[in-house]
Chain A
Amino acid sequence: MPLIRTLLLALACSLATGAIARPLFSPQPTEEGLLPVEEAFQLLPARRQAQALKLEWNIAPGYYLYRGQLAFEVLTPQGFRLAPPRLPKGETIQDPEFGKVEVYRGIVAAEFDLPPGMKGPLKLRVHYQGCADLGICYPPQQQQLAVPAAVRS
């Protein structure tokens, strides 16, 4: 009986191995083989200092964000505009149709200087768009982000 049980277990393992191995041999990617957009490009909670704001993405290995598709809107307070962020130099990739484009991998941060009078909370809408190295692109994303008020020192 233990032998039959071992055999059945081994067969089940073989079945599972075959199922798991299949995507590795697939000539085309599948939707299920790709990360959901929020895991591929994880926007981390905003980090606020008195006169500075830092927004960071944690980009999964095998995925990249386009520098040219990053955009930031202030929803509240109304009428307040952010100065352009400081962004690191990204990786340049050559595309047959788009030419040279700058992309980010790993951790990337957009850093903003805030004017001295801006101490209250902010609500932002962040735009970004990226692709997977497999040759699949995700649609442009918009995410609202609450930025807490500056902590009084």
Chain B
Amino acid sequence: MTRRGWLTAGFVVAGVAAMSAGFLASSWWLGGSRMQGEPAPAITLTDLNGQTRTLAEWQGKLLLVNFWATWCAPCVDEIPLLVEAQARYGAKGLQVVGPAFDEPEPAKAMAQRLRINYPISADLAQADAAARALGNHNGMLPYTVLISRDGRILKTVLGSLTREQIDTLVQEHL
């Protein structure tokens, strides 16, 4: 190869490497998992029975915290998949928790309609504080956070998860 050829090849390789670096750096900066690896913050929620629950009480389980609301169609559409996941993987150590950006009455009605089989809370201020502590600052929904058995944040996801995504995530970390 001529000197000019080597130079061109080197230039192309360097360009591709720089583009990849930019892609990865942006992935770290913009990705939904900036909190990955960090210990989950202390979070308190009041369930629909008025019981105070903390995320710490489920330490030792794989926790899937799904923020939702009755006014959020993509959230409501996703819930049957989470109910299914809780039924399928609960005995193996998965615990789904659903803080709602909502009032108790509509949340209770929706929980009955969708036969939600995991603890949910319906307190706007609590849900907002919990979501912010877990990396969601604008209250956009649905928002899901996966927390390891030892209480570390594994992944945060803005937007609905598919059944395949839930299965992959859960099976990978159970």
Complex: how many Å from CA A22 to CA B14? 18
B4-47 with Cβ < 8 A to chain A: 11, 14-16, 18-27, 29-32
B69 touches A139 (CB 8 A): yes
In the complex, the answer to whether B159 meets A14 with C-beta atoms within 8 Å is no
Instruction: Bits for B44-77, please: 1 = Cβ < 8 Å to A, else 0.
Output: 0000000000000000000000000101111111
User: B27 contacts which chain A residues (CB < 8 A)?
Assistant: 22
Interface residue range, chain B:
35 or more
Report Cα–Cα, A51/B144, bound state, in Å: 48
Q: Chain B residues with Cβ under 8 A from A29's Cβ?
A: 158-159
Which chain B residue lies CB-closest to A7? B11
B26 touches A22 (CB 8 A): yes
Question: Which of B83-91, B115-123, B131-139, B146-154 forms part of the interface with chain A?
Answer: B131-139
**A30 touching B71, Cβ below 8 Å:** no
Residues of A within 8 A of B69 (CB): 137, 139
Q: Which of B16, B29, B73, B140 contacts A97 (CB 8 A)?
A: B73
Are B26 and A19 in touch, CB under 8 angstroms? Answer: yes
Once A69-B71, A97-B76 are accepted as A-B contacts, the answer to whether A137 and B15 lie under 8 Å apart by CB is no
> Do B18 and A15 touch across chains, with their CB atoms under 8 A apart?
yes
Q: CA of A139 to CA of B141 in the docked complex: distance in angstroms?
A: 8
Q: Per a CB cutoff under 8 Å, which of B16, B77, B138 touches A31?
A: B138
Interfacial residues of chain B within 79-103, with CB under 8 A of chain A in the complex: 101
Chain A, 123-151, contact with B by CB distance < 8 Å: what is the 0/1 string? 00000010100111111100000000000
Tell me if B159 and A18 are in contact (CB < 8 A): no
Q: A101-B73, A137-B71 are in contact. Are A11 and B14 (CB under 8 A)?
A: yes
Q: Which residue of A lies closest to B155 (CB)?
A: A28
A21 at the interface (CB under 8 A from B): yes
- The residues of B that contact A69 with a CB separation of less than 8 Å are 71
Proximity bits, A14-43, B CB within 8 Å = 1, else 0: 111111111100101111111011000000
Indicate whether A129 sits within 8 Å of B71 (C-beta atoms), given known contacts A18-B20, A28-B157, A136-B141: yes
Can you spell out 5 A-B residue pairs with CB atoms less than 8 angstroms apart? A18-B21, A19-B25, A23-B30, A101-B73, A135-B160
Q: A134-B159, A139-B69 are in contact. List 9 more A-B contacts (CB 8 A).
A: A11-B14, A15-B18, A18-B21, A18-B26, A28-B157, A95-B73, A129-B71, A131-B73, A137-B141
Binding site for A on B (CB under 8 A): 11, 14-16, 18-27, 29-32, 69, 71-77, 101, 114, 136-142, 157-160
